[in-house]
Structure 1
C-alpha cells in the first residue's frame, strides 16, 4: 500500500509533467493527429477526405460532415472520445469530410454561392460516386452540419432539390437570429449607422481575419477565458481535463477567417434582415432561395445553454423548413453539441436515431 509520501511524490511528478507540457516549451498534454483518412480530392477550399474504416463490411448510407465557415474542420474529430467522425465510423457508416482550408484576402469574393452552387454539390456527388466505387450503393448522402455548416447544407438543399441529399442534420444552426442576444449590438449598430459603415472595416480587410475570428470566439465565452488560468491550476493533476481544455484551445487557434462577401451576406441577410426566419434568403437582386423548396428530411439539434446559437434560435427551423424536426440537447455548449465530453450521451444519439430512420 503506497504511503502518503509516495502519493505526494507521484502527485508532484504529475503536476510537474503537466505544467511543463502546458508551457510554451512543452509538447502539449496530448498528441492527437486525427483519424486515418484518405484524401479523395485536394482542390482549394474543397478538400474531400474519406475516413478510413477498420472493416470491409457493407457500409450504411454515406455521411458527409459539413463544417462552418471560419472554423477548423477539426470540430468533427477533436480528440479521442470527442470525435463525431469516429463515432459515426463506429456505427458502421462511411464517413466523409469537406474541408475549406485557409481563407485569405484573395478569397474575399467568395460568398454563399460558392458553397451552395459548387463546394457542397461537388462534394455530395463525389461522395456518392466514391461510395458506389467501393461496392456500396445508396440513394443519397446524409449531410451533418454544425453551426453555419448546417446553414450551408440547408441553403444547398433548397437551391438544388434534385441533389441526392438523403437527409440533413443541423447541429447548433440558428434560423431566427432575433433570438440570439449576442448579435443584438451588431443589429442596433447597423440600424443606427447603416450597413455600409458597419461593414466597411471587413470590406477593407477582405473579410474577417483569422485572428479576429479567434478573438471573437473567445469573447463569446468570457467566463472560460477569465478563469482559464485558475481552471488549469485547479486541474493540474487531472490529465484528462487538461487534455480537453488544450484540445479546445488548439481548435480555436486553428480557426481561419471569413471571406468578405460571405461575411457581408451573414451580416445583412442572416443577422440584420433575419431572412432565414422568413423562409427566403436573397443572395442577390436576381436570386433568392426559398426554404420551402427543401425536399429532404431535416433535423435541427439545439441546446438551451448554447451561448452562440441558443435553443430558441435553432428551434425556429422546425417552423420554417417543411417537415423539419427539432431535438433538444440541453446542457451542451455550441462546440459541445458536436464535440463536447457529453456529446456521446446527449447529442450524438439524436443524430444516430435520425440517420437510422427511413
Structure 2
C-alpha cells in the first residue's frame, strides 16, 4: 500500500483481513488430484490426474523432491503450482516423494535414493506413460539426486534433465563460509556426535535452518505484510510458503552425515566425482541434455554455486544455463516463476520431446512435397530442428535473460 493509503487500498485491505479471519486464509491450498502408481521403502510415485478439458499427450515429466522438503514445493497453491501448470497443458505429470523420515531410518544413506528410489520412479513414470522417455526435473537436493542418477545409470529412459537451484560448489554459499573455520578446527567431530545422537537432522532443526536462510526476510516479514494488506495475491503466497515451511521433513542420520562430510566439508560435488559407500559416480559421463537454473536472489544456492555444474558436463548433448528471478523456493514456484522459469521449462521440454505420431506423419508428407515449396505442408513445431545458436537469447522471452548463456558443447 502507499504511505498514505488510497480509499480503494483501504477497502481491499479490509476485505483481505476479513476473508482471512472468516475463512482462515486467502490461498487456495487444495492439492492437485493424484493417484499412487508405485511405491517402495521411502518411495511413493504419483501420477497427477489429467485435466478434464485437456487430453494428456507427450513425453512425461517426473518431479524429484529433495530430502527434508515436502512435495508442496511443486504444488504450492493453485495459481502457483508447477504441477497445475503441466497438467493444464496436458503434459503427463509424475512426482516422487519419500514420506516421513523417522529415527528408524537413521542408517539410510544417499545411495538409497540414488541407487533405488529415483531410478525406480523414472522407470515407473516411463512405463505408466506408455514407455516414453522422461523429462526429469529436480529442485535443490532433488536436482543433485537427478544428476547422480543420470550419471550412474545411463540406460534409464531419460529424455532430459532440469536442475533447479542445486549447489555444486558449496564454497560459494554465503551461509557456509562463516562455519568453515569452525569445521576445520574441530574436524567436524562435534557436529558428527550431535547428528548421530539425534539420528539425523530433526524436523524442527530443518525448519529453522530454512527460515534462517531467508536472512532479513524473517525480520521484515511483519512490516511487509502490513505494506501488502491490500494485495490478496501477495498474502496468499506468504500463506502457502508458511505452510511449506511448517511441513519440512527430517534428514536421516547417515544421509545427513554424507551431505555434511562429503559435500559441505570436502566440497566433493565440485570435483564431479562423488563417492557413495565405495561406489564412485562421475558426473562427466552424463550425455543427456541438461538445463540448469539459478535464482538471482538465492541465498542457499547462489548463482556461482549452481553454475559450477555447467563445467562438469563436457559430454552432455547440450547444456543450457539460465538465471531467473527469485530465491531458493521462489525461483521454482514463486509468482514470477510463472512467466520465467516455467516458460523456459516448456521450451526445453518441447525441444527434447519425442514427436507425436501426428507430427511424424506431417514430416513424412512434407518430405514428399519438398519439390513444391509453395504447397509444402506445414511442419509440426516438434519436428523443427532447434536453432541452437539462439538458445539463451530469445528476444521474446518474458524476462531479462542477459545473464543466460548458450553453452552447447562445441563439436
Q: Same fold (TM over 0.5)?
A: yes
Number of the residue aligned with 1:249 = 242
User: Could you tell me how far apart the structure 1 residues matched to 2:119 and 2:197 are?
Assistant: 30
RMSD value, Cα:
2.2
Number of the residue aligned with 1:167 = 160
Number of the residue aligned with 2:408 = none
Number of the residue aligned with 2:356 = none
Q: Where do 5+ consecutive residues of structure 1 fail to align? A: 1-5
Structure 1 residues 56 and 331, CA gap change in structure 2 (3 angstroms): closer
* Alpha-carbon contact 1:292-1:320 (below 8 Å) kept: yes
Aligned residues: 345
Residue 281 in structure 1 maps to residue 281 in structure 2 = no
User: Could you tell me how far apart the structure 1 residues matched to 2:156 and 2:120 are?
Assistant: 10
The one of 330, 349, 363 aligned to 1:355: 349
Higher deviation after alignment, 146-155 or 187-196: 187-196
The one of 70, 73, 85 aligned to 2:71: 73
Number of the residue aligned with 2:389 = none
User: Could you tell me how far apart the structure 2 residues matched to 1:13 and 1:310 are?
Assistant: 38
User: Alpha-carbon deviations, 1:75-112, whole Å to 9, x = none?
Assistant: 00101221111112233310000011211111111211
User: Could you tell me how far apart the structure 2 residues matched to 1:61 and 1:102 are?
Assistant: 30
Which structure has more relative contact order (CA 8 Å, sep 6+)? It is: 1
The one of 297, 301, 304 aligned to 2:296: 304
Residue 29 in structure 1 maps to residue 30 in structure 2 = no
Q: How does 1:131-210 map to 2 (within 5 A)?
A: 131-132=129-130, 137-138=131-132, 140-210=133-203
User: Could you tell me how far apart the structure 2 residues matched to 1:312 and 1:9 are?
Assistant: 43
Q: TM-score, normalised by structure 1?
A: 0.90
Q: Max radius of gyration: which structure? A: 2
Shift of 1:354: 1.4
Structure 1 residues 208 and 352, CA gap change in structure 2 (3 angstroms): same
Q: TM-score, normalised by structure 2?
A: 0.79
Number of the residue aligned with 2:325 = 331
User: Alpha-carbon deviations, 1:208-228, whole Å to 9, x = none?
Assistant: 001111111000113211112
Number of the residue aligned with 2:310 = 318
Structure 1 residues 182 and 129, CA gap change in structure 2 (3 angstroms): same
Shift of 1:197: 2.1
The one of 204, 214, 224 aligned to 1:221: 214
Structure 1 residues 8 and 79, CA gap change in structure 2 (3 angstroms): closer
Number of the residue aligned with 1:270 = 263
Residue 45 in structure 1 maps to residue 39 in structure 2 = no
Residue 94 in structure 1 maps to residue 87 in structure 2 = no
